[in-house]
Amino acid sequence: MSAAANTRDGGMAELSALDRPVVMVGLMGAGKSSIGRRLARCLGVNFVDSDVEIEDAAGCSINEIFEKYGETYFRDGERRVMQRLLKAAPGVLAAGGGAFINNQTRELIRSHAISVWLRADIDTLCDRTKGRKHRPLLNTGEARATLQSLIDKRYPVYAKADLTVDTANDGPNVTCLRVLKALEKYTGAPLAASEPQ
């Protein structure tokens, strides 16, 4: 990341101590996009959602990519998109839930960014994903069991992130502030351009 970045209103914000992208990782429903967007606002930098970028690049939805080409194809595309996004140096990047689990994608993230695991419990994840149909892995009629099995498999891997921040029903601004404080402690510098809102 360069010394300055475009803000949402087209201006430039000094990034001072933040010299790498921040990548939000964690399970579906953890709040990577919602907290990531707030965090970017608060840091005065760009926000990018990798799932949206993958859909734009493919010209179809993630459901359609899974249906037509399968998960392995999706993971390969996800790795390529993450590689591009990490080079283009957006301020805050929300990764899809499986990105950090793929060895190659995780290495890319670990070498180019500060990774933040948003850790949530099963009830929070179920609540936040309920009734949403855009996630192929949860469209099985067994969403809770699937999420529990993903917790079992993936949490030891997410634990390799640079930072771990717990999220539950505290409200997004509280979680955002928690992430900000963890980042400031990690980088050893004040980073916020404004309060979380």
| Residue 55 in the binding site for ligand S3P (CB under 6 A) | no
| Residue 137 in the binding site for ligand S3P (CB under 6 A) | yes
User: Which one of residues 41, 79, 119, 135 is an interface residue with ligand S3P (CB under 6 A)?
Assistant: 135
Residue number with CB closer to ligand S3P (97 or 196) = 97
User: Which one of residues 136, 151, 155, 163 is an interface residue with ligand S3P (CB under 6 A)?
Assistant: 136
| Residue 98 in the binding site for ligand S3P (CB under 6 A) | yes
Q: For residue 117, list its beta bridge partners.
A: 25, 164
| Total number of residues that touch ligand S3P (CB under 6 A) | 10
User: Which one of residues 62, 108, 116, 165 is an interface residue with ligand S3P (CB under 6 A)?
Assistant: 62
The answer to whether 116 and 183 are in contact (CB under 8 A) is yes
| Residue 41 in the binding site for ligand S3P (CB under 6 A) | no
| Residue 13 in the binding site for ligand S3P (CB under 6 A) | no
- How far apart CA 59 and CA 36 sit, in angstroms, is 24
| Residue 93 in the binding site for ligand S3P (CB under 6 A) | no
Instruction: Name the segment binding ligand S3P (CB under 6 A); options: 131-139, 140-148, 165-173, 181-189.
Output: 131-139
| Residue 151 in the binding site for ligand S3P (CB under 6 A) | no
Q: Which residues bind ligand S3P (CB under 6 A)?
A: 28, 32, 51, 62, 96-98, 135-137
